[in-house]
Amino acid sequence: MHWKKVIPEYQKQEWDPDQEKYCGIFHFRFWRFGKWMDVVIDDRLPSHGGKLLFCHSLSENEFWSALLEKAYAKLAGCYEALDGGNTADALVDFTGGVSQSIDLLEGGFSEDEKAAAELFAEMEKAHSRGALLSCSIRATTAAEMEARMDTGLVKGHAYSVTDVRRVRLGEGFTAFFKSEKLNMIRMRNPWGAKEWNGPWSDESEEWNRVGHSELQRLGMTVENDGEFWMSFDDWYKYFTDAIICRIINTSVMSIHKTWEEVMLVGQWRTHADPLQNRAGGCRNNRSTFLQNPQFMFDVTKDHDTIMINLQQKDKRHEKKHGGGEALSIGFEVFSVEQNREYRMHSNQDKVEGSEYINSCSVFRRMELKKGRYVILPTTFDPNLEGDFLIRVFADVKSHCRELIKDQPDQTCWTGLCGYPSYVTSIHLIKTLGLPGSDISPLAKISCGGEKVKSSVLAGSSPEFETKGLFYHKKPNKPIIIEVLDHGLIQSDTLGRVEVPADVTEEKSFIILQLRSKEGRDAGKVHLWVHTRTELTDI
């Protein structure tokens, strides 16, 4: 249970009428910036006229929620810092999970039945695996905050989702075999009152369509307790925002799906030297964007699900000093050369990215092909400083690490053997017309002692999508592309070609003729090539 992490040894902290055993202090824990932080408070709670001013339970003898709120306020700096807080950020603080924000308006679920069905399946799966879900109706003005709508719903108010269920309609065996189900969501208003009054509300006639056994399974009650059901169609029609806070399973001992996690800390910091500046802003700032911190990871399977969470350091404790505003943050993911070990200095192929929001946490789930990728976490505007945490989850080890160096080091060996004067990036897109039909092509790009290999594909026109980066001392040093027919014992060469490495301002698209060992045409390769003399240009 999540609350056992937040309230450790809760039984020992229970109030004891024996005054010698009761010391009036309480211990709580919150997840902040990659660590569980301890907060200790006393039992003095803000009140007026014998009534608690802020969070309170329906029972006058129950104080755990008020004590928890006080501990959270202490962590944030003051009670004022909790006003108008972000639900997604709070869920992360209480669980150590990762929050995904969903804009139900921009999602267009009312017009796209497939997207709506996928969202329901995602929420149902997340809820069954212990995720915390929340939803709200956006208030566009201060006057709309906490305003009750005709439907009974309240704007600017966070509702907790307590169940996501496919409800069986009808009664008896006929209903079972007919298997007519309705996608439904159960929610709770934290105020404990003011419920939805539309279809499927507590006393609506729609519940007559549900059999007695199904009602018992749902635990359906007719009380003004703040908990109510809605059909999924009505839910995304009236609510504007949803949050899924996933508790990612990283345990090596679990029988359920587990994830490999890498957690790294970084900084956005300004500097006069462009090579040392790390506060370049979003992609709109073309001249400084690539100066941001860069993190590289590998996808070693043919396809893998990758989850990336970017979290900035919380500044709510600065509210009482006039600060505390969260930066607008986001990140972009680029496909790079398989052997890249140094920072990107020119634009690569963008494959994914998050929205930019002024939240403590930004999350994105994506499906990526085998290869090497670079994440650029940024603020929206340049020259803004802050600390951040980046978490990368993958099915297998991603070897995520920060790219620190801009180019190869100069050592005593480079003094003897020579230091590279050129850098070439090659992106082999595809080949056409390879000899033979029942073949398993494998592409190899090499320069000097450096080699990059593609995956083994099939057919005479494979799309390799293989990238390599090569540092070399002479422009006429050949870069060779070789296409092989992969075999279990040996691989036969189908064709090869030398790639010209002419220095150009921009990358060039070229088509080259492959030649067999006998000098015959062996198909063509399509590729991008970019060579520069300045090693920090690519």
All residues at 6 or more sequence positions from 15 whose CB lies less than 8 Å from its CB, including other chains:
22, 63
The whole-number pLDDT of residue 475 equals 64
Instruction: Give dist(CA 201, CA 229) in Å, integer.
Output: 6
CB 522 within 8 A of CB 494: yes
- Which DSSP letter does residue 256 get? S
The radius of gyration of the chain's CA atoms, rounded to the nearest angstrom, is: 29
Distances in whole angstroms, Cα of residue 227 to Cα of each of 219, 220, 224: 11, 10, 8
Give percent of the chain above pLDDT 70. Answer: 93
Count Cβ atoms within 10 A of the Cβ of residue 109 and give its class: 0-12 exposed, 13-18 middle, 19 or more buried: buried
Tell me the percentage of the chain whose pLDDT exceeds 90: 59
Q: Per the residue annotation, which of 86, 127, 157, 472 is the catalytic one? A: 157
- Where residue 537 falls among pLDDT bands split at 50, 70, 90? very high
pLDDT at 452: 96
Residues 6+ apart with CB under 8 A from 528: 425, 426, 427, 429, 507, 508, 509, 510
What the chain holds in terms of domains, given with CATH numbers, is 2-85 (no CATH), 98-246 (3.90.70.10), 260-402 (2.60.120.380), 412-537 (2.60.40.150)
127 vs 202, more confident? 127
Residue 61 pLDDT: 83
- Partner residues linked to 120 by β-bridges: none
**Catalytic annotation on 189?**
yes
Enter the tokens of residue 426.
Answer: 């090659």
**Dist CA 280 CA 262 (whole Å):** 24
- 215-244 pLDDT, tens digit per residue, is 888 776 656 677 899 999 999 999 999 999
- Write down the pLDDT at residue 324: 64
399 given a catalytic annotation: no
Average pLDDT, the chain: 89
Q: Which is more confident, 216 or 134?
A: 134
Q: If DSSP states are collapsed to H, E and C, what string results for 64-116?
A: HHHHHHHHHHHHHCCHHHHCCCCHHHHHHHHHCCEEEEEECCCCCCCCCHHHH
Look up the pTM and report it: 0.87
Token duo for residue 402: 């920060």
The distance of Cα 471 from the centroid of its chain, to the nearest Å, equals 34
pLDDT for 315: 74
User: What is the CB neighbour count within 10 angstroms for residue 480?
Assistant: 13
**What are the pLDDT digits (tens) for 325-383?**
789 999 999 999 999 999 999 999 999 999 998 888 899 999 999 999 999 999 999 99
pLDDT score recorded for residue 206 = 87
The rounded distance, in Å, linking the Cα atoms of 257 and 499 is 45
The DSSP output letter for 536 is G
Q: Decide which of 324 and 282 is more confident.
A: 282
Q: State the catalytic residue, choosing from 86, 127, 183, 189.
A: 189
Task: Taking the CA atoms of 186, 187, 192 and 196 in sequence, report the sign of the dihedral they define.
Answer: negative
Place of tokens 């069905």: 117
DSSP β-ladder status, 132-136 and 159-168: antiparallel
pLDDT band at 400 (very low <50, low <70, confident <90, very high): very high
Residue 474 has pLDDT above 90, yes or no: no
Is the alpha carbon torsion for 196, 202, 208, 212 positive or negative? Answer: positive
Instruction: Yes or no: say if 388 and 313 are a contact pair by the CB < 8 Å rule.
Output: yes
| DSSP, residue by residue, 155-199 | TT-PEEEEEEEEEEPBSHHHHHHHT-EEEEEEEE-TTS-----ST
Q: What whole-number distance in Å separates Cα of residue 97 and Cα of residue 144?
A: 31
